């Protein structure tokens, strides 16, 4: 089982939500800061910022991410993927 699939199962994420979450985690790991709404939209071919926000709201409701409304690049994952079978809360 992949870390993304383990997270999806744990938080009942759809495949698309799990992919977006994994990409956000990877973006933060590589670049050191969270992606912008438009970057997420471009990566996942979501044309409207509202479409991206809808996906992010679902991830937030399910406890996978959080952010500060009205501020740029504040998306933060709440779960770290340490081992495929053991997602754990981020510190």
> What pLDDT, in 10s, does the model give residues 64-85?
999 998 898 999 998 765 544 5
Question: Which is more confidently placed, 9 or 62?
Answer: 62
Per-residue pLDDT tens for 6-40?
Answer: 777 888 899 999 999 999 999 999 999 999 999 99
Q: Is the pLDDT of residue 4 over 80?
A: no
The distance of Cα 68 from the centroid of its chain, to the nearest Å, equals 14
Provide the CB-side half-sphere exposure for 57 (13 A, CA).
Answer: 7
Categorize the per-residue pLDDT at 5 as very low, low, confident or very high, splitting at 50, 70 and 90: confident
Q: Report the pLDDT value the prediction gives residue 81, as an integer from 0 to 100.
A: 57
Q: What share of the chain is helix, strand, coil (3-state, %, to 5)?
A: 50, 15, 35
């Amino acid at each position: 089982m992949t870390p993304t699939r383990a997270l999806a199962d744990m938080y009942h994420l759809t495949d698309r939500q799990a992919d977006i979450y994994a990409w956000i985690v990877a973006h933060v790991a590589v670049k050191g800061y969270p992606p912008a709404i438009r970057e997420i939209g471009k990566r996942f071919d979501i044309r409207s910022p509202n479409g991206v926000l809808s996906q992010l709201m679902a991830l937030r409701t399910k406890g996978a991410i959080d952010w500060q409304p009205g501020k740029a690049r504040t998306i933060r994952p709440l779960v770290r993927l340490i081992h495929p079978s053991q997602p754990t809360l981020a510190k």
